[in-house]
Amino acid sequence: MHLAQRWYGDDDSAVLPRSIADKRAFENALALDVAMGDSTNTVLRTLAAAREGKIDFTLAERRAKTESSEPPGDRAPGTGR
């Protein structure tokens, strides 16, 4: 509610998604996605959101960051591994 009040009541555009979704936010989203198992759907949606927001975030850059990251442990449920 606080953010809605800032936008609608105070006309503060700093709380809008385009103001807070910068390159660093997309890099953080990538790190979380890799830690959770690297979803193909998340890749597509993240790249589309970056493009829509005119943020320079490419598949090649994403791939390089993914290759340098290692997901923690086994993420497959019920495999006993």
Count of domains in the chain?
A: 1
Q: Is residue 2 part of a domain?
A: no
- Residue 34 is predicted with a pLDDT of 81
Distances (CA, A) of 23 to 4, 20, 69: 24, 9, 18
User: What is d(CA 68, CA 60) in angstroms, rounded to the nearest whole number?
Assistant: 13
Range of the domain at 56: 17-67
Of the candidates 20, 35, 33, 24, the residue with the CA atom closest to the CA atom of residue 75: 35
Question: Amino acid letter at 21?
Answer: A
Position with higher pLDDT, 81 vs 79: 79
Query: Is residue 5, in this structure, part of any structural domain at all?
Result: no
Is 58 a residue whose pLDDT tops 80?
yes
| Residue 74 belongs to a domain | no
Helix and strand totals (H; E) in the chain = 5, 0
The arithmetic mean of pLDDT across residues 35-44, rounded, is 84
**Residue 3: its pLDDT value, please?**
83
37 located within any domain: yes
In this structure, is residue 77 part of a structural domain?
no
Task: Compute φ and ψ for 71, nearest 5 degrees.
Answer: -65, 145
pLDDT of residue 76: 65
Read off the pLDDT of each residue in 14-20 and give the average, rounded to a whole number. 84
Residue 81's pLDDT band, with cuts at 50, 70 and 90, is low
